Amino acid sequence: MRRGWAAVVAATAVMATACTGQGGSGLSSAAVTGGDPDKVSGDITVLTNRTDQVSDGTLKKYAAQFNKVHPRVRVTFEGITDYEGETRIRMNTENYGDVLLIPDNLALGRYPAYFAPLGDATDLSAQFDFTEYATVGGQVYGLANIGIATGFVYNKAVWKQAGVTDWPTDPQQFIDDLKAIKARTGATPYYTNYKDAWPLQQWSDGIGGPSCDNTAKDALAATAEPWSPGQDLYAIDGLLYSAVHQRLTEADPTTTNWEKSKTLMGEGRIGAMFLGSWAVAQMQSAAKAAGHSPDDIGFMPFPSQRDGHYCTVVQPDYKYAVNVHSRHKDAARAWIDWYLTKSGSARAEQAISTVRGTPLPAALQPFEERGVRMVSQTQDRAATVSRIEKSAEIGLDTPDYRQKLVDIARGAAPGDQRGYFADLNRKWSDAQRTVVG
């Protein structure tokens, strides 16, 4: 799975650990470099959430290629299923690998206590995108490997069978297209992945898409009622509600299964799912494994246009960092540099490389051809938005409130869209007055 609202509001979260105050512990504040490939050496451990790539040997193959350039560095990988939870616990000690993915809820200001600086922000921002997400005091502490666009992964063959050959331009047309899929194919038009829950969080990543506004998330700090007509959350959650309420989703959402959904999508038994562009490669692999064409899997933006253009929100995936306690920081940095710039992993994942100037992956070429605007969200008021969100106890990056939305829409819980949105607006408005005044 990947990614979430928490990646944007991480600067407001606090992690209580035994490492508090390490910024003044005497650890070196000099930026870590990759060193001379012929001289840098050491054994390093890379923590990763990609347990699949550990078990199938993908990362081991990358390490073999890396060793052709850095023969004196030995890389081992540790795949962690509950990456966020386990890594946070391990960061109470000094033993959290040499290279790791920065946990989403670690406060930005705490980065220097846990990670070694990678270089000057001005210099690194000329080479990589999204460095601002991990910059403290002019130094960059993490580099993202990929950027992720938001939208719908869909099976083009299913949509074509339903008679739909173009992207919908507004939410109602999207619903009409789902109705066509239901009427003319045997596929489930839209799959919520309700039971696994985290896919419902992905919808929050679309904030900024309907409005094509790069300040949409920051604007929530000054928005009293985000679930009102004209607001992004009204469009986003309203579309999900409509799809469920009009019975265009799986019959029993309590029995959904994420891993199975990939196969169902690949086999043409699901029409669409709202996810990040990271999911395209996984769905294509599932299609190939099921004996179908990977080319059947496509990606489309949220059904909304501004000035005749679609928009998609783009944000970074996990940022790679070097453990400030690592005994082989140069070797760790050498791995990060090679993996981001030389491995080709972003291309293999059909993801947006963070290396500036890299062409878009094949899955997103239609976005470029059709002039889809890629919008990155500002973070000037992220801390305020996070405080409001936590005070409101809604959970924009948790599945709970959208699971309740799905339950109301399918008749498993009392209420309707208007009443539920009014309740969300009330909670947000009350919290905003408390936080902002």
**Residue 126 Cα distances to 119, 143, 355, angstroms:** 12, 13, 9
Do 259 and 337 reside in the same domain of the chain? no
- Domain residues for the domain of 54 are 6-145+318-358
In this structure, the strands spanning 135-136 and 139-140 are antiparallel
Strand residues in 287-413 grouped as ranges (E): 297-300, 305-306, 309-316, 319-322, 352-353, 373-375
| Last residue of one domain, picked from the residues 358, 382, 409 | 358
- In whole angstroms, give the CA distance from residue 139 to residue 116: 10
- In whole angstroms, give the CA distance from residue 341 to residue 363: 20
Do 327 and 423 reside in the same domain of the chain? no
User: Looking at the domain assignment, is residue 353 inside a domain?
Assistant: yes
User: Looking at the domain assignment, is residue 298 inside a domain?
Assistant: yes
Residue 76 near residue 345, CB atoms below 8 Å: no
Do 328 and 254 reside in the same domain of the chain? no
Per-residue pLDDT of the chain (437 residues; tens, 9 = 90+): 454 444 444 433 333 333 333 333 334 467 888 778 888 999 999 999 999 899 999 999 999 999 999 999 999 999 998 898 999 999 999 999 999 999 987 888 899 999 999 999 999 999 999 998 999 999 999 999 999 999 999 999 999 999 999 999 999 999 999 999 999 999 999 999 999 998 999 999 999 999 999 999 999 999 999 999 999 999 999 999 999 999 999 999 999 999 999 999 999 999 999 999 999 999 999 999 999 999 999 999 999 999 999 999 999 999 999 999 999 999 999 999 999 999 999 988 888 999 999 999 988 999 999 999 999 998 889 889 989 999 999 989 888 999 999 999 999 999 999 999 999 999 999 999 999 97
Residue 243 near residue 175, CB atoms below 8 Å: yes
Do 342 and 394 reside in the same domain of the chain? no
Do 65 and 209 reside in the same domain of the chain? no
Do 354 and 364 reside in the same domain of the chain? no
Cβ burial, residue 357 (10 Å; 0-12/13-18/19+): exposed
Do 435 and 288 reside in the same domain of the chain? yes
Residue 373, preceding peptide bond in cis (omega within 30° of 0): no
CA–chain centroid gap for 287, Å, is 22
- In whole angstroms, give the CA distance from residue 16 to residue 89: 10
Do 53 and 107 reside in the same domain of the chain? yes
What's the pLDDT score for residue 350? 81
Q: What are phi and psi of 193, to 5 degrees?
A: 55, 40
- In whole angstroms, give the CA distance from residue 213 to residue 149: 15
How many domains are there within the chain?
Answer: 2
What's the pLDDT score for residue 17? 34
DSSP of 204-255, one letter per residue? GGGTTTTTT-TTHHHHGGG-S-TTSTTSHHHHHHHHHHHHHHTT-B-S-GGG
Amino acid at 32: V
The residues near 349 (Cβ < 8 Å, ≥ 6 apart) are 146, 278, 281, 361
Q: How many CB atoms lie within 10 A of CB 434?
A: 12
- In whole angstroms, give the CA distance from residue 5 to residue 22: 28
User: Looking at the domain assignment, is residue 283 inside a domain?
Assistant: yes
Amino acid at 25: S
- In whole angstroms, give the CA distance from residue 425 to residue 224: 7
| Last residue of one domain, picked from the residues 335, 358, 381 | 358
CA–chain centroid gap for 172, Å, is 26
- Best CA proximity match to 380, nearest among 119, 12, 117, 112: 12
Extract the tokens encoding 245. Answer: 């309420």
Residue with tokens 């890594």: 87
User: Looking at the domain assignment, is residue 1 inside a domain?
Assistant: no
Residue 361 near residue 346, CB atoms below 8 Å: yes
DSSP of 109-152, one letter per residue? GGHHHHB---EEHHHHHTTBS-GGGGEETTEE--EESEEEEEEE
Do 179 and 241 reside in the same domain of the chain? yes
What's the pLDDT score for residue 31? 83
Extract the tokens encoding 99. Answer: 């290279």
Whether the pTM exceeds 0.75: the reply is yes
User: Looking at the domain assignment, is residue 292 inside a domain?
Assistant: yes
- In whole angstroms, give the CA distance from residue 87 to residue 91: 6
Do 327 and 390 reside in the same domain of the chain? no
Extract the tokens encoding 284. Answer: 């294509």
Do 46 and 137 reside in the same domain of the chain? yes
CATH assignment at residue 270: 3.40.190.10
DSSP of 348-380, one letter per residue? HTT-EESBTTPPPPGGGHHHHHTTPEEEPPP-T
User: Looking at the domain assignment, is residue 200 inside a domain?
Assistant: yes
User: Looking at the domain assignment, is residue 171 inside a domain?
Assistant: yes
Do 217 and 229 reside in the same domain of the chain? yes
